[in-house]
Amino acid sequence: MTAPLGFADAREAADLAAFLARLIHYDKAAVVRLQAAGGVLAVFGRPASFEVLAIRTAGLVDTAPLDVTVSAGQLLDGVDETAGKATLPAPVTGPPWTGLLPPRGGWREIPGLPDAAGLRGAVAAAVAEFRTRDEELPEGRRTRAERDRIGREIWSRTIGGTGLPLRAAHAAQSLGFLPPRGRIPVALLQAGSWLRLRTPFGSIAVRTGGAGGLSVVPV
């Protein structure tokens, strides 16, 4: 039996629980890959339909290394927010994305990203456009396939000249990384063909090109 994870700050247990609950909202069978090194836990998830990786980090009391894929729901059941601990469930065989994660280092900040208010505005405008176009569909074309096509077109648009797809900002907002109000620092980082939208509450990572620059992390 693996010892429970002990968080350096008990509030981080509540933050992890909120993150897991949001992942499960989009996919009840969601899994997460956990990696811990040097007293820092990184939790990777792939929210259904967004085609991005979501990353949440937390400080741990224990510095022992950890690398395991588990059920997000079972991990959520094991979070004790009062004690600031989480009991790890049994490992599972993860889907393909769990074997291909963003690189740990080599990130550099790149310019061109709007501030938090600008990102929220871009997401709101995209949601409004989707609703308008959906309402304008003739009855015979109001199908799931047509709605998916419209959604892919809208959310694949890049933000300014950054190359970051709009769906990354949408995912950040939906997962609580980009709160609906307030001025928070946001940054866009790049490593190889990966882009990463970073906020104080978590990061969203996407691959923007082919295989060049990818970091394959052994399972």
74: domain CATH number? 3.10.150
Structurally, the chain folds into a number of domains equal to 2
Q: How many helices (H) and strands (E) does the chain have?
A: 5, 11
Same domain, 15 and 57: yes
Q: Which of 64, 99, 134 is the last residue of a domain?
A: 99
pLDDT number for residue 214: 32
pLDDT number for residue 217: 30
Average pLDDT over residues 128-157: 92
Domain carrying residue 28:
5-99
Judged against a pLDDT cut of 80, whether residue 154 lies above it is answered with: yes
Q: Which of 50, 77, 99 is the last residue of a domain?
A: 99
Same domain, 9 and 92: yes
pLDDT band at 59 (very low <50, low <70, confident <90, very high): very high
Residue 204: inside a domain, yes or no? no
Report the distance separating Cα 179 and Cα 203, nearest Å. Answer: 13
Same domain, 12 and 95: yes
What percentage of the chain exceeds 70 in pLDDT? 94
3-state secondary structure at position 11: helix
Per-residue model confidence as pLDDT tens digits over 84-105: 999 999 999 989 999 999 998 9
Same domain, 17 and 85: yes
3-state secondary structure at position 29: coil
Same domain, 95 and 133: no
In 3D space, the residue among 87, 47, 51, 49 whose CA is nearest the CA of residue 68 turns out to be 87
HSE, side-chain direction, 13 A CA sphere, residue 103: 17
pLDDT number for residue 83: 95
Residue 174: inside a domain, yes or no? yes
Same domain, 75 and 113: no
Judged against a pLDDT cut of 70, whether residue 213 lies above it is answered with: no
pLDDT number for residue 180: 86
Average pLDDT over residues 40-62: 95
pLDDT band at 142 (very low <50, low <70, confident <90, very high): confident
pLDDT number for residue 181: 85
